[in-house]
Amino acid sequence: MADAPGVNTPAHVVLNLLVIGRGRGQPWVPILAGALIPDLPILVMYAVERGLLGTAETLIWQDRYFASGWQLFIDAFNSLPLIALGWLLAYWHGSRFLQPLFLSMGLHAGADFLVHNEDAHRHFLPITGWRFSSPVSYWDPRHFGQVFLGAEMLLIVLSSGHFIRRGQDRAVRFLGSGILAATALFIAFALVFWRRLGEG
Ligand SMILES: [Zn+2]
């Protein structure tokens, strides 16, 4: 089983807005972009495999995702040295947009580093291909995945609530509402699904 894009991406968004945006969620555009970019190559991979090549769903996640070319493409966007280099260049140029963007990418990759077990990215490319198998997985029940999922949902609900009430501008409040609504739908769907499993 591979990384499931879309499940934990909202958690990256609210966490990065909180930490890098210092609770005010500003500047929200580069922070949002930086929180999304490390997960985008997975969506690109999915779009190419499913949409262009017509690969079967199960084959994508059990086989194609692990192909060395796709792995390199995905891991490049999760590489801490490359992100640090990007931040350094942005710092030298004094770019007010790219500095928080690379910081946000770095926080995303750093958070992923802590909560991926078998599906860990190579976070130190191109220096080394070493993967850290964290004892905690953001999804795998064999590695505290259920506990983590609960904590993640709590983080999303509390911080989107915070942004809805205190977000410095309308876009941040809107973003908070969108993430909260999507998460509520996800939880409702999961509850119905689990109940069905229990009955069946
Ligand atoms: Zn990620």
What spacing in Å lies between the alpha carbon of 106 and ligand 1's midpoint? 11
Model pLDDT for residues 64-75, shown as the tens digit of each residue: 999 999 999 999
Distance CA 143, CA 180 (A): 26
Residue range 14-37: mean pLDDT, rounded:
95
Concatenating the DSSP letter of every residue in 90-127 gives HHHHT-TTHHHHHHHHHHHHHHHHHS-STT---TTTTT
Model pLDDT for residues 92-133, shown as the tens digit of each residue: 999 999 999 999 999 999 999 998 888 889 999 999 999 999
What spacing in Å lies between the alpha carbon of 198 and ligand 1's midpoint? 31
| The pLDDT value given to residue 200 | 60
What spacing in Å lies between the alpha carbon of 12 and ligand 1's midpoint? 8
Above 70 in pLDDT, residue 7? no
Above 90 in pLDDT, residue 17? yes
> Quick one: what percent of the chain has pLDDT higher than 70?
96
Those residues whose beta carbon sits under 5 angstroms from the ion ligand 1 are: 38-39, 112
